[in-house]
Amino acid sequence: MNLDLYEKYKYIPRQPIEIILNSKNGTDLNNLDGHKIYLLEQEISSRKDERLLLYLKKCFLPFSFYTLSSSQKNNILDIKETNGGGSDTYSITIPDGNYNITELISTIKSLLESTTQKNFKYTITYNKSTSKVSFKILSGTTPTNATLLFSTGVNSKFSVKNILGFNETDVSFTTSSSTTSQKIVDMADGLDSIRVISNLVGSNIRSTNREGGELLLIPVDLEPFSVIYFNEGPAPFKHLINQENIKRIEIKMTDANNNIIDFNQIPYTLILQVEFVFNPADKITENNKQLEKISSLKKMIEVNEKLAREIIKKNKN
């Protein structure tokens, strides 16, 4: 900012303010601890000659959330089993957790074989070279085929398909032919980063997402049950916020699929920083108004003088 403007408008700079948001001091929304409201004890306000800049300075987030869970909407598998006696359709719910692929397919196999009404046994394998999963019927009571209902299942919106590498298409397999995932497995399923979203939307942000309001994207590059420490560094991106004061702060943390993250009641901390920047717009507007007023008065005087001259001239004649 030009120092001449500081001197011209007698602007007095202010020091930034740090806001520490500890999850224990927030109020959960919809019983999810990744979505909270914080109320500041003292409101932060800008003066008329200022605007507010906000950024996420640091955060300490526990990797206590599960990449496969009911909150991430990816823990159900719908299946239809068909044999000589007809078809049965059922679902299995995989317990919330952070699995490796070997643990996951072992859990799925166990749940399928303990739930089947047709005594089906399964072979589920993982190919390390391709990072893909295959399903095949091992045995059963006169088995015909089995179909994983990734598209038509009643729980397709909560399916484990993405983690297993399957598309949103039903796939069938038999005792002689297997089905293999179209993509490689993705144990993170959208939780390779955390979107930190706030009600304090910056006016210098453009997003392809309708909701927008992202303060920052925090990468998840550690193993489960560690602590994610993030420091924005010496050149942070600062949000020029639209409002003149801050009292209520809403923070929502989601995955790439906009599912709110459940930290399982393990505390986390976000540190925001608010900066005050000189904004001469009001002063300039005020000066412009004064200039417009003076200009208007000058025009009025000129008109009146012209009328007076015409009247004097008419009376002389």
The pLDDT of residue 114 is above 90: yes
Tokens of 139: 């045995």
Percent of the chain with pLDDT over 70: 82
> Do residues 65 and 73 make contact, with C-beta atoms less than 8 angstroms apart?
no
Instruction: Name residue 146's beta-bridge partners.
Output: 81, 173
Tokens of 124: 């589920």
The pLDDT of residue 314 is above 60: yes
Query: Which residue from 48, 51, 49, 59 is spatially nearest to 18, judged by alpha carbons?
Result: 59
Could you report the per-residue pLDDT of 152-183, keeping only the tens digit for each?
999 999 999 999 999 999 999 999 999 999 99
CA dihedral 232, 233, 234, 240 (to 10 degrees): 0
| Mean pLDDT, rounded, of the chain | 88
End-to-end Cα spacing for the chain: 62
User: Strands 239-240 and 50-62, how do they pair?
Assistant: antiparallel
Question: Which residue did the predictor score with more confidence, 208 or 108?
Answer: 108
Could you report the per-residue pLDDT of 28-68, keeping only the tens digit for each?
998 889 999 999 999 999 988 888 999 999 999 999 999 99
- Class of domain 14-65+191-279 (CATH, top level): mainly beta
Query: Which residue from 7, 4, 157, 148 is spatially nearest to 90, judged by alpha carbons?
Result: 148
CA dihedral 95, 97, 100, 106 (to 10 degrees): -10
> Do residues 163 and 140 make contact, with C-beta atoms less than 8 angstroms apart?
no
3-state secondary structure of 237: coil
The pLDDT of residue 288 is above 50: no
> Do residues 110 and 51 make contact, with C-beta atoms less than 8 angstroms apart?
no
Q: What are phi and psi for residue 265, nearest 5 degrees?
A: 65, 20
The pLDDT of residue 9 is above 90: no
Q: Give the per-residue pLDDT at 113.
A: 98
Average pLDDT of span 250-258:
93
